Amino acid sequence: MKIERIPALSDNYIFLMWDEQQKIAAVVDPAEAKPVLNKLREIGAELVTIFNTHHHRDHVGGNRRLMQDFPDLCVYGGEKDKGRIPGQQVYLTEGDTVEFAGRQATVYFIPGHTYGHIAYYFPPAVEGETGELFCGDTIFAGGCGRLFEGTPAQMVDSIGKLRQLPDNTRIWCAHEYTLNNLKFAITVDKDNPVLQTRLKSVKHDRDRNIPTVPSLLGIEKQTNPFLRWDAPALQAVAGIAEPARVFGKIRGMKDLF
């Protein structure tokens, strides 16, 4: 299973998984159809599946057009997004599994950014390789999504589930927000040497228009303040120790950054 990162809109990423032998593909969160169709023509693959993480327009905007071009494809999304994802046919809940190209993914219910948000985790196909996490707008490289429909407690619970995955998990998050996220992170975790090094590296990459997605979960655990609500440095900044309140305080600071 190969994964292609497709830029879309102003700062979105669409992810195309494809099986080179079977010439079939699945797309995660198609913000728009045109770049997906262009990539499918380039690789000579037929689209068979859409995996949506949540209902926002910049994640489902291409669904209808892709369904027109590939009328037999299947559209997946969360059970609580029923009626909000165009063309949705399968309604997924926590612990469900989906398959593509001989790989099986576990579905995680991760409300917070929206109340129906889900993620898809494909474990490594071979021991020692990376797992693949498609988490929409829940975890970003260096950050997390805004709480549009959920609470800090929900988001801590949701990210907590994902934080338990192996460090060698690639995080395919849906936006190129990394540099701005890390510029904020250093303001609340200024003495973190791993974060300092990462910020310099990301500045270097973005100056050269090099994408920063995917990230690795192990790096996020060390540098992303929204996975570090139990770190003393973040608790000190928040002035509290209770996880949801630490998270909420830091998220509120980021909203004003």
- Report the distance separating Cα 33 and Cα 69, nearest Å: 10
State yes or no: pLDDT of 167 exceeds 90.
yes
| Interval 113-143: pLDDT, tens | 999 999 999 999 998 899 999 999 999 999 9
Q: Is 56 one of the catalytic residues?
A: yes
Measured between alpha carbons, how far apart are the two ends of the chain, in Å?
A: 39
Q: Is 204 one of the catalytic residues?
A: no
For the four alpha carbons of 212, 217, 218 and 219, in that order, the dihedral sign comes to positive
Tell me if the domain spanning 2-255 has CATH number 3.40.50.2300: no
Give residue 43's pLDDT. 96
Q: Is 58 one of the catalytic residues?
A: yes
Q: Mean of the per-residue pLDDT values for the chain?
A: 97
| Interval 202-221: pLDDT, tens | 999 999 999 999 999 999 99
CB 31 within 8 A of CB 14: yes
| Interval 21-51: pLDDT, tens | 999 999 999 999 999 999 999 999 999 999 9
Of the chain, the percentage scoring pLDDT greater than 70 comes to 100
State yes or no: pLDDT of 160 exceeds 90.
yes
175 carries a ligand binding annotation? yes
Q: Is 255 one of the catalytic residues?
A: no
Exposure b/e, 7-39, CB count within 10 A at least 16 = b: ebeeebbbbbbbbeeeebbbbbbbbbbebbbeb
Q: Is 137 one of the catalytic residues?
A: yes
Give residue 128's pLDDT. 87
Catalytic residue among 29, 55, 96, 175: 175
State yes or no: pLDDT of 187 exceeds 90.
yes
Catalytic residue among 59, 81, 96, 117: 59
Banded model confidence at residue 240, pLDDT cuts 50, 70, 90: very high
117 carries a ligand binding annotation? no
DSSP 227: G
